[in-house]
Amino acid sequence: MVRVGADRREGPSDAGIRRTTHRAGHGRTGRGENGVVVDRRTGQNEELGRFLRAMRARLRPEEAGLPDGGRRRTPGLRRQEVAQLAAVSVEWYVRLEQGRTSEPGTAVLDALARALRLSPAERRHLHVIARGEAPVPRPVSLPVNDSLRVLLDGMPLLPAYLVDFRFDVLAHNGAAAALFGEDFGTGETDNTARMLFLSPRVRRMQREWARVARETVGNLRAHLAHHPDDPRLLEVVGELRATDAEFTRWWDDHTIGQRAHGTKRISHPSVGELTVHYDTLAALDEAAQRLIVLTPADTAAENCLRTLMADRAGSLAGPGLRPLPTHSRPPDAPGADEPGHRPVPRPASDGRAALESPP
C-alpha cells in the first residue's frame, strides 16, 4: 500500500501525460528517473491550462447564452467571456490558464464548470487537476477472489469478465471466450483499451467502434487523474498515443467520461450481428476491480449467444464425445424444450443497476 502524500519515484514521461500526487500550492518536488528534480505543481498547472483551453474551445457563444460577436480567429469562447460567465476577473482567469495563480477555491471551480457547461465527470476532473486533491491510494494487486470466479462461471450464457482500473483483463468466463475468441485476455487482448485500438478483429466486431473507443479514452483519462503515477496505466496510454492517431486526437481533446451501462452492437463472423447491453459493477475495496456483464438485448442476440456457446463446447469437446448439457444448447437444438432447460436471464425492463463504463 502506498501512503497518500508520500514522495514517490516518477515514472517515464509520455507526451501529454502529467502526474499529480500532492495538494496544489504545497510546492512539492520529486526526482525523475534521471535524478532531475521535478516540480509537480508546474505539471499540474500546465494540465489545468490545457483542460480549460480545450473546454472553452468547444463551446460556442450561443451555447453559453452570449451573442456571437462576429467573426472569431479561433473557435469557442474568449477568455474574457469565460471570466464574465464565471464572475471572476479577466486578469485572474488569464493567469489561471497560464498557470500563474494560486490554488483556486471550490466555489470558483464550480463557477467555471457552470460557465463551461461541464458534465459531472468533467467537473470532478477539473477539481482533481486544479486542487491537487490526493489521489485514491494506489490499489493493491490482489488475486481474483474464488467467489468472483464462481460468479463468472455461474453465468454460462452471459459474457462476463473482470478488469482492474488499468483495464487489464483479470478473469473471464466461457461465454466471453466464445464471443471474443479463445485468446481473450492474452496478447493484444490482455487489456480492453489496447484490444479496442490494436486488434483489427475487435475493431471490425464493434459496429459503433468510434463511440465505444472514445468512451474508453474518457475512462482512461479519468482513471489516470486518480492514479497519475501508476506505471502500467502510463504504459498503456503511452503505447496507444504512439500507435493510434485517433486515440491521440481524442486524448488531446481531453475527453472525460465514465459510463456505467449502455448498449453495443457486435458483428460476429460466425453468427452475424447481435445487440447486447453492458453493465459495470465496481468492487468497493482496495483492489478496484470491475465486473463487466453483457446481456442480450433481444431474442435474436440470445440465440446468437447460445449458438456461440454450443459451437465452443463442441470445439473443445472434440468429435465423438458427449453433447452439451441441455441448458447450454441453442433453442432449436434437440432437447431444448426438455425439463432442465434453463432460458438465459433477461435484463430488467427498467434498465440495469449501473456503476461505470467498460471500454
| Domain harbouring 234, CATH code | 3.30.450.180
User: pTM score, two decimals?
Assistant: 0.63
Say yes or no: 269 and 156 in one domain. yes
Segments in the chain below pLDDT 70: 1-43, 69-70, 133-140, 284-287, 318-359
Whether residue 346 lies inside any domain: the answer is no
Say yes or no: 125 and 151 in one domain. no
Final residue of a structural domain among 303, 325, 340: 303
Say yes or no: 64 and 184 in one domain. no
pLDDT at 286: 62
Say yes or no: 175 and 57 in one domain. no
Whether residue 152 lies inside any domain: the answer is yes
Say yes or no: 127 and 156 in one domain. no
Final residue of a structural domain among 280, 303, 326: 303
Say yes or no: 169 and 296 in one domain. yes
pLDDT at 133: 67
Residue 34 belongs to domain with CATH number: 1.10.260.40
pLDDT at 73: 76
Say yes or no: 108 and 224 in one domain. no
pLDDT at 102: 76
pLDDT at 92: 95
Domain range for residue 116?
29-131
Residues whose CB is less than 8 angstroms from the CB of residue 92 and which lie 6 or more positions away in sequence, other chains included: 83, 101
Nearest to 171 by CA among 157, 181, 185: 185
The tens digit of pLDDT for each residue in 71-99 reads 777 789 999 999 999 999 999 999 999 98
Whether residue 199 lies inside any domain: the answer is yes
Say yes or no: 199 and 78 in one domain. no
Say yes or no: 246 and 272 in one domain. yes
Say yes or no: 151 and 290 in one domain. yes
Report the DSSP beta bridge partners of residue 295.
277
Whether residue 66 lies inside any domain: the answer is yes
Whether residue 292 lies inside any domain: the answer is yes
- Residue 28 CA to residue 211 CA, distance in Å, equals 39
The tens digit of pLDDT for each residue in 156-183 reads 999 999 999 999 999 999 999 999 999 9
Whether residue 277 lies inside any domain: the answer is yes
Whether residue 256 lies inside any domain: the answer is yes
Say yes or no: 114 and 220 in one domain. no
Number of domains in the chain: 2
Whether residue 115 lies inside any domain: the answer is yes
Final residue of a structural domain among 131, 166, 196: 131
pLDDT at 285: 64
Say yes or no: 157 and 233 in one domain. yes
pLDDT at 117: 94
Residue 265: all three cell numbers together: 452492437
pLDDT at 346: 40
